Amino acid sequence: MFSEHSNDHKSQPVYLWGESDRLTPGDLLERLQHYHEMSGLETDHFSLGGTVKLLEEQMASLLGKESAIFMPTGTLANHLALRHLCQSQKRVIVPEQSHIYNDTGDGLEKLSGLKLIPLGKNRVCFSLNELKEAIRNAKTGRVDTPIAALVIESPVRRKMGQTVAYGDMQRITDYCRQNSIACHLDGARLFMMSAATKIPITDYTKLFDTVYVSLYKYLNSPSGAILAGPTYLLKPMIQSRRMFGGALWGAYFFAALALKELTSFEETYKKAFSTSQLLFRLINNLPGISITAFKNGSNIFLVKLSPTINPETFRQALSEHAIYLDPNQRPSRTFTINVNTSLLRQTKERIAESVKNALHSASV
């Protein structure tokens, strides 16, 4: 079993897929015990107080916002952010490829009466001109139906983790402020994105009224989310969270694991990305394989094997060296891999050597 305290690089598993480091239940218990010994776990009362409050305070500071509130899921965090940002006006502009538009079962329309307007079909984000046209159309109809809020998601899961260019974010949110439109960032993977782009977290968050960050995506908590923004907006969400059945009793376990990860996240992810760049150079010098980045990408990379490599044999050979590809992708000569901090469990030289041996074994 992998232990985060082990120094044996040979046997530690590297997972080139997924949203976290694939920690085992034993790893999580070990981390909880370590946090309890160093800081002391404090219980909460329906997600209020204790270690949950400590996480909320630290996340508010890291995100450059006045307040933060724990949510059990990102879906609820996004929902309540938009529910409270939209008062008398009910229209919300969202990216057509966003999680909110595609993966929440029209929950905002059914439960909060909000009308979603998708823009930027099959693209990472909509353009400023598309936004201007949508605002103009909302104002010039027979019945005035102004836009209340706008969402930007970045990175975009449905577009291979591509990010919205920072300059585009600035132009879009600036225009929204000029038109009294609130802005929400679906930043589930914000901490990872900041490490990938080298743009500080608060440079992103200052553009938005509210920001959501996942606790299980790259912060290695089994569940949970944080929503940050102004106190006047977030305080009433304590009641809304309970109304929606989201006031968990005993959320302090999730909070403690996220706090544990935050102590070293920035340093370890910077190291993971710099190591990945050196590793990919080594691998790209090998015959039969290439690794390339996506435009405006984050931590997802495209891998191509030559026709002389059997993809199933290659995958199996890598697993014999404790290097694992995404089991949800069917064996193919073209697939994606993710960079996360499990990459640091083995040296880049060992991983490159394992890839070399796997290519040799899979040669046909």
Q: Rounded CA gap, 192 and 317, in Å? A: 29
pLDDT by residue for the chain (364 residues), tens only, comes to: 333 334 444 579 999 998 888 888 999 999 999 999 999 999 999 999 999 999 999 999 999 999 999 999 999 999 999 999 998 899 999 999 999 999 999 999 999 999 999 999 999 999 999 999 999 999 888 888 999 999 999 999 999 999 999 999 999 999 999 999 999 999 999 999 999 999 999 999 999 999 999 999 989 999 999 999 999 999 999 999 999 999 999 999 999 999 999 999 989 999 999 999 999 999 999 999 999 999 999 999 999 999 999 999 999 999 999 999 999 999 899 999 999 999 999 999 999 999 999 999 999 8
Q: What is the pLDDT at residue 144?
A: 85
Tokens of 298: 């984050």
Q: What is the pLDDT at residue 5?
A: 37
Tokens of 309: 């490599």
Query: Could you tell me which of 25, 218, 9, 186 has the C-alpha nearest to residue 103?
Result: 186
Whether the Cβ atoms of residue 291 and residue 276 lie closer than 8 Å to each other: no
Q: What is the pLDDT at residue 7?
A: 42
pLDDT in tens, 207-238: 999 999 999 998 999 999 999 999 999 999 99
Domain boundaries, the chain: 14-24+265-362, 39-262
| Phi, psi of 317, deg, nearest 5 | -65, -40
Q: Mention the CATH class of domain 39-262.
A: alpha beta
Long-range contacts of 170-178 (CB under 8 A, 24+ apart): 170/207, 171/128, 172/125, 172/126, 172/128, 172/131, 173/207, 173/208, 175/128, 175/131, 175/132, 176/131, 176/150
| DSSP secondary structure string for all residues of 296-346 | T--SEEEEEE-TTB-HHHHHHHHHTTTEE--TTSPS-SEEEEE--GGGGGS
Q: Rounded CA gap, 30 and 148, in Å? A: 45
DSSP element (H, E) containing 92: strand 91-95
Whether the Cβ atoms of residue 32 and residue 222 lie closer than 8 Å to each other: no
CATH code of domain 14-24+265-362: 3.90.1150.10
Rg over CA atoms, the chain: 22
Whether the Cβ atoms of residue 272 and residue 340 lie closer than 8 Å to each other: yes
